[in-house]
Structure 1
């Protein structure tokens, strides 16, 4: 790495640069997702600019499905459009195996990559080498309205079953008041509705593939999963749910329109922030539901920053990645927004910080959920793949999105559950045979 760049990471004073350490300005382009933590980071760039006046950062902020398409196309063609990409636990090991990502082996002194939670770092590594740095890590859990549960005369168990969820959804639904018992992802995409449904399916004992890579959508476990999902969403969910993803459901919950929301643990700080959420003081948390089979419907994910091998500004990109995923950045967010709003789920030290634990009532539930997800044994029966809410093979992004479109169409009333599963089985089988499995 450029020694001047390394020397400048941390609290490098502008005066020192002007005294002789300055060099030509480098522009880097960062592609990111339009989630709250990423938007917040863009508002804190004065700190980075003060430390790195020689690096200009341009942002491309995109909706999740669009981001995935754009960065995948760019890196696969060595397009060089982006210098830093926001990517996830699915892409990193696959792309690292293709030599598409720069290994993060020489991060600046004090960066402390060993502090990353093992479950998170393991998913962003290939053969023990880190290829992307986690900006935030997550599992999934139940977020619910305590006031509505109390009004219904019910208590949410800390470890609910799907039957518990259905009873609570029914009790909390008041459609005349535009309060829906449950909000779940319906928007099509392998990382949207299929992230939720794949994790849910694990708790029902369903698998994407058996040990011979044969598609399993014709099995009763998938039928039971989709029947339960459709029952919840049709009877107790909001209208137009087939177009709702993470951000849409977050907005509904913040407006007080969801009795429950089962989704990413990272949402906890946004639903409990009184500046954003009308129900901030009424939110409770529980583990993702199970079905009595020993697996919960929670996933494992990290939105992370990786540097494509095609970047012509790798050193500057690494400076940005180091800043955005450092302990100092966490402290910066805490100083501006409070400890409850720092990016969660990445560093062991955060969960040893009493200030954070006192400020974030969801901290323990988040950590327990992350640590309980097992990508190597995601469902009840053995599978040939790793990944909890995805299958870690290159073909999955396309297959998962196509299956997600069929399930979203069923939710929209355009076809039956049986038709959606039949199509999912056929298209998955065709794609896997074409890929040589």
Structure 2
């Protein structure tokens, strides 16, 4: 084991330069297809077993590739990796799965964007039988991350990349004002109001305001107000708690945010913060290098991180996996595929990947000094705290999530514009309920 770990340590150092976490872990770019052919095992002369991993062009994929020879050496199973743009991946896997193709052994997927549809269509093989034979194989996963790849008692994937909503803030501005990072939403509002100075180009708060992209980050505000998108199949966007959350989020951006918020997804909101024009910013933890990299951020040495503040409903924050891996339902090599899934999500491998900046899904790795040395200390503490209160979804956990996000985004936009939140929430709730009824 010591020899193996030394090998992984060397590999993790070499892949750190390749991974490149300058972009959000939850987003992908580029499109490559990597092929491999079966070869004979040099020790036995027999044809080696090969499985196919269909994955996203993503830092996790790039980080796992240099480790594959170790897996092949341990198991005798070779891995062929085909990687694609994020949208290409969804299209490619959908077409192959729908055709009942046997060619996908392991698939990388977005639990909250594609996972529900794939699970509903029967594209995944259940992992329950494998997990039941290996007691404790799921015990180390962050609960909210594991919860996103389950339907009832059926486990159909293992999370590999996680994120949660954290509070980014300007340490220098808070220090000068004699303030500590806010721990409640009330404190966040008070400090944003106190520190906002728009006449001098400084705004108290910035976050996503664009219709659909805003939903995932608004979700934590919704949960912390004691509300949710739905309950028992019924839309709940018009409950008093939900409307209070919409009003709070919209009010923060309307009163203390920069101009143009309605057009801001994460790149635009992050740019406001990294240009030194905002005191507070809430968004995904996976984006942190954009704020701390001096080549991208004018305030890189002034950025602090804190857990998502508690609201009237307590401590609740969206902490889902951005990516997971599962086994194709029609794979003829399910046992070999399971060996890869088990290996890729083992503590040794997750630790090696996390040492390069990949935000994994194992509690023990987040609790270890080795697993967190890549990250700012206060960011690690924020993530670990968030994991304790994590909700396994940052958007409605349904199949037709795109239409649902649009409906919810309409209410967010209405609140930012100072329009009638109650009327917008009632209208959106009706639209959302129609979506749920169709499912």
Out of 215, 221, 229, which is 1:194 matched to?
A: 215
Out of 347, 355, 359, which is 1:327 matched to?
A: 347
Please state how far the C-alpha of 1:184 moved relative to its aligned partner: 1.6
Q: Distance in 2 between matches of 1:255 and 1:18?
A: 56
Out of 120, 124, 128, which is 1:101 matched to?
A: 124
Contact 2:142 2:387 in 1 (8 A): no
Out of 185, 208, 215, which is 1:185 matched to?
A: 208
Out of 253, 257, 262, which is 1:237 matched to?
A: 257
The 3 A distance-change label for structure 1 pair 222 and 354 is closer
Out of 416, 419, 427, which is 1:423 matched to?
A: 427
Please state how far the C-alpha of 1:354 moved relative to its aligned partner: 2.7
Please state how far the C-alpha of 1:164 moved relative to its aligned partner: 1.7
Q: Distance in 1 between matches of 2:244 and 2:220?
A: 14
- Alignment partner, residue 58 of structure 1: 82
- Alignment partner, residue 296 of structure 1: 315
Please state how far the C-alpha of 1:280 moved relative to its aligned partner: 3.6
Deviation string 1:314-350 (CA, Å, 9 cap, x unpaired) is 6776566455433333343466x4xxx2424x11321
Contact 1:140 1:265 in 2 (8 A): yes
The TM-score with structure 1 as length reference comes to 0.71
Matches within 5 A, 1:150-169: 150-157=175-182, 159-160=183-184, 162-169=185-192
What runs of 5+ residues in structure 1 fail to find an aligned partner?
1-9, 33-37, 376-386
Please state how far the C-alpha of 1:369 moved relative to its aligned partner: 1.4
Please state how far the C-alpha of 1:405 moved relative to its aligned partner: 4.1
Contact 1:28 1:316 in 2 (8 A): no
Please state how far the C-alpha of 1:408 moved relative to its aligned partner: 5.6
- Alignment partner, residue 6 of structure 1: none
Q: Distance in 2 between matches of 1:41 and 1:255?
A: 31
RMSD: 4.3
Alignment of 1:406 onto 2:427: no
> How many residues are treated as equivalent by the alignment?
392
Q: Distance in 1 between matches of 2:100 and 2:273?
A: 39
What runs of 5+ residues in structure 2 fail to find an aligned partner?
1-7, 10-37
Deviation string 1:267-292 (CA, Å, 9 cap, x unpaired) is 4465445565443432223332333x
Contact 1:85 1:306 in 2 (8 A): yes
Q: Distance in 2 between matches of 1:144 and 1:298?
A: 17
The 3 A distance-change label for structure 1 pair 90 and 29 is closer
The 3 A distance-change label for structure 1 pair 222 and 129 is closer
Contact 1:242 1:408 in 2 (8 A): no
Q: Distance in 1 between matches of 2:53 and 2:231?
A: 44
SS at match of 2:321: strand
The worse-fitting range, judged by mean Cα deviation, of 66-75 and 79-88 is 66-75
- Alignment partner, residue 385 of structure 2: 368
The 3 A distance-change label for structure 1 pair 253 and 72 is farther
The 3 A distance-change label for structure 1 pair 265 and 178 is same
The TM-score with structure 2 as length reference comes to 0.71
The 3 A distance-change label for structure 1 pair 22 and 110 is farther
Out of 205, 222, 237, which is 2:226 matched to?
A: 205
Q: Distance in 1 between matches of 2:273 and 2:92?
A: 30
Contact 2:351 2:365 in 1 (8 A): no
Contact 2:350 2:362 in 1 (8 A): no
Please state how far the C-alpha of 1:258 moved relative to its aligned partner: 3.6
